[in-house]
Chain A
Amino acid sequence: MSESYDFLFKFLVIGSAGTGKSCLLHQFIEGKFKAESNHTIGVEFGSRIVNVGGKSVKLQIWDTAGQERFRSVTRSYYRGAAGALLVYDLTSRDSYNALANWLGDARTLASPNIMILCVGNKRDLEEERQVTFMEASRFAQENELMFMEASALTGENVEEAFLKCAKSILAKIETGELDPERLGSGIQYGDATLRRLKGNPSQRPKAATECMGTSCHI
Chain B
Amino acid sequence: MDIKEKFRSFMDKQKILSIKTPPIQAAAEFVTSDEFEGRTAVTAQLHRQSSVLSDHILTPEAEQAVIDSIEVIYFESGDNVVDVGEHELKKCPDTADIHVINGLRSRLRKQQAIVSRRVSDLIMQKQGQCSEEMEHVTGLQTEVIKEVGLCVEGRKKLAQGRTQFTSASLGILANYSKRQKISSVIRSLRMIRTLQMTDVQLQNLLKVEDYPGAIQLLLECQKAAATFKHFTCISELSTKLQDTLEGAEEQLDVALARVAANFNASNYEKLQTAYGLLGKTQTLMNQLHMHITSHIHNSAFTIVLGYVELYNSASGGNTSVSGSSFSKLQYSELCKYVHEESLLPCLLDLSKSMWNILKSYRSIINWHENDEKLSRECAGEESEQENESDTSRKYTKQKLKHGLPRIWQDVQAKVRTFILASDLSHFKFDDFLRILDVINKLIDIGECFCSSKSETLRESIKKQSLNYFRNHHRARMEELHMFLENEGWEACPVKSTFSIHQLMEFRFLKGRDTNLTRITSPSSSPTKKQGNGGERKDVFEQYSEDGSPFDLVTEESVEEDIMASEDMRDSSTVSDDDSDDDLPDELKRDYVDEQTGETPHPNLKRKVDHSKTPIVTNTTLTILRLIGKYIQMMRLLQPIALDVMICLSHLFDYYLFAVFTFFGARGDLEQNLSRHLLTSLKKIQDTLIYAPDSPLEDSTNQDKVPCPSLSPVVDLTSPDSMYGLGVRMAAVESLGFLATQLEALHPYVEPLIPPQRRTHLHQFYTSTVKATPEIRHHVYTAVAAQVIDYDSILNRMSSVRWDISDIMSQHSQYVDDLLRQLQVLSMRVEELSRVSPVPSEAYRALWESVVRITNRTLLEGYASARKCTNEGRSLMQLDYQQFLMKLECLTWVRPLPDKPLVEGFIKAYYYPESKLEEWVRQSGVDYNSRHLTSLVATMTHISKRVRQRIAIMVEEGGRKA
Whether B572 is near chain A, meaning CB under 8 Å from some CB there, is yes
A sample of 19 more A-B contacts (CB under 8 A), given A30-B428, A36-B564, A39-B576, is A1-B426, A34-B564, A35-B564, A41-B494, A41-B621, A45-B622, A67-B577, A70-B492, A73-B491, A73-B493, A76-B490, A77-B486, A79-B712, A210-B706, A214-B478, A216-B696, A217-B690, A217-B704, A218-B475
Chain A nearest Cβ from B553, distance in angstroms = 17
Q: In the complex, which residue of chain B has the Cβ closest to the Cβ of A42? A: B618
Q: In the complex, which residue of chain A has the Cβ closest to the Cβ of B561? A: A36
Q: In the complex, which residue of chain B has the Cβ closest to the Cβ of A216? A: B696
Whether B297 is near chain A, meaning CB under 8 Å from some CB there, is no
Binding site for B on A (CB under 8 A): 1, 30, 34-45, 47, 60, 62, 65, 67, 69-70, 72-77, 79, 210, 212-214, 216-218
- Residues on B with C-beta less than 8 A from A40 are 575
Q: In the complex, which residue of chain B has the Cβ closest to the Cβ of A184? A: B712
Contact A38 B475 (CB under 8 A): no
Contact A45 B575 (CB under 8 A): no
Q: When chains A and B are docked, how far (Å) is the Cα of A47 from the Cα of B490?
A: 24
Q: When chains A and B are docked, how far (Å) is the Cα of A214 from the Cα of B702?
A: 10
- Residues on A with C-beta less than 8 A from B576 are 38-39
Q: When chains A and B are docked, how far (Å) is the Cα of A35 from the Cα of B564?
A: 7
Q: When chains A and B are docked, how far (Å) is the Cα of A89 from the Cα of B520?
A: 45
- Residues on A with C-beta less than 8 A from B712 are 79
Contact B488 A75 (CB under 8 A): yes
Q: In the complex, which residue of chain A has the Cβ closest to the Cβ of B836? A: A72
Whether B250 is near chain A, meaning CB under 8 Å from some CB there, is no
Residue among A1, A34, A36, A79 having the largest count of chain B Cβ atoms under 10 Å: A36
Contact B423 A1 (CB under 8 A): yes
- Residues on A with C-beta less than 8 A from B572 are 38
User: Could you tell me the dominant secondary structure of chain B's interface residues?
Assistant: loop
- Residues on B with C-beta less than 8 A from A43 are 618
4 closest Cβ contacts across the A-B interface? A76-B488, A42-B618, A36-B564, A69-B493
Q: When chains A and B are docked, how far (Å) is the Cα of A75 from the Cα of B486?
A: 10
- Residues on A with C-beta less than 8 A from B618 are 42-43, 73-74, 77
Q: A65-B575, A79-B486, A217-B705 are in contact. Are A38 and B494 (CB under 8 A)?
A: no
User: Could you tell me the dominant secondary structure of chain A's interface residues?
Assistant: mixed
Whether B286 is near chain A, meaning CB under 8 Å from some CB there, is no
Whether B755 is near chain A, meaning CB under 8 Å from some CB there, is no
Q: In the complex, which residue of chain A has the Cβ closest to the Cβ of B566? A: A36
Contact A42 B565 (CB under 8 A): no
- Residues on A with C-beta less than 8 A from B696 are 212-213, 216
- Residues on B with C-beta less than 8 A from A44 are 622
Chain A nearest Cβ from B654, distance in angstroms = 13
Whether B481 is near chain A, meaning CB under 8 Å from some CB there, is yes
Whether B293 is near chain A, meaning CB under 8 Å from some CB there, is no
Whether B180 is near chain A, meaning CB under 8 Å from some CB there, is no
Whether B711 is near chain A, meaning CB under 8 Å from some CB there, is yes
Interface residues on B, range: 35 or more
Whether B573 is near chain A, meaning CB under 8 Å from some CB there, is yes
Chain A nearest Cβ from B343, distance in angstroms = 15
Contact B492 A76 (CB under 8 A): no
Chain A nearest Cβ from B667, distance in angstroms = 26
Q: In the complex, which residue of chain A has the Cβ closest to the Cβ of B570? A: A38
Q: In the complex, which residue of chain B has the Cβ closest to the Cβ of A67? A: B575
Contact B575 A39 (CB under 8 A): yes
Contact with A along B196-213 (1 / 0, CB 8 A): 000000000000000000
Whether B504 is near chain A, meaning CB under 8 Å from some CB there, is yes
From A38, A77, A212, contact of B504 by CB (8 A) = A38
Contact B690 A34 (CB under 8 A): no
- Residues on A with C-beta less than 8 A from B705 are 214, 217
- Residues on B with C-beta less than 8 A from A76 are 486-488, 490, 711, 713-714
From A39, A72, A73, A79, contact of B573 by CB (8 A) = A39
Could you show 17 A-B contacts with beta carbons less than 8 Å apart? Answer: A1-B426, A36-B565, A36-B569, A41-B494, A41-B621, A42-B618, A42-B622, A47-B479, A70-B492, A72-B493, A73-B493, A73-B618, A77-B618, A79-B713, A213-B696, A214-B478, A217-B478
Chain B nearest Cβ from A20, distance in angstroms = 15
Chain B nearest Cβ from A8, distance in angstroms = 10
Q: Which of B612-629 contact A (CB under 8 A)?
A: 616-618, 621-622
Q: A36-B564, A36-B565, A36-B566 are in contact. Are A217 and B477 (CB under 8 A)?
A: yes
Chain B nearest Cβ from A149, distance in angstroms = 25
Contact B564 A214 (CB under 8 A): no
Contact B566 A73 (CB under 8 A): no
Q: In the complex, which residue of chain B has the Cβ closest to the Cβ of A31? A: B428
- Residues on A with C-beta less than 8 A from B569 are 36
Whether B692 is near chain A, meaning CB under 8 Å from some CB there, is yes
Whether B439 is near chain A, meaning CB under 8 Å from some CB there, is no
Whether B563 is near chain A, meaning CB under 8 Å from some CB there, is yes
Contact with A along B708-744 (1 / 0, CB 8 A): 0001111000000000000000000000000000000
Q: In the complex, which residue of chain A has the Cβ closest to the Cβ of B493? A: A69
Chain A nearest Cβ from B334, distance in angstroms = 21
- Residues on A with C-beta less than 8 A from B621 are 41-42
- Residues on B with C-beta less than 8 A from A218 are 474-475, 478
Q: When chains A and B are docked, how far (Å) is the Cα of A40 from the Cα of B573?
A: 9
Contact with A along B564-597 (1 / 0, CB 8 A): 1110110011111100000000000000000000
- Residues on B with C-beta less than 8 A from A75 are 488, 713
Whether B483 is near chain A, meaning CB under 8 Å from some CB there, is yes
Chain A nearest Cβ from B531, distance in angstroms = 22
- Residues on A with C-beta less than 8 A from B711 are 76, 79
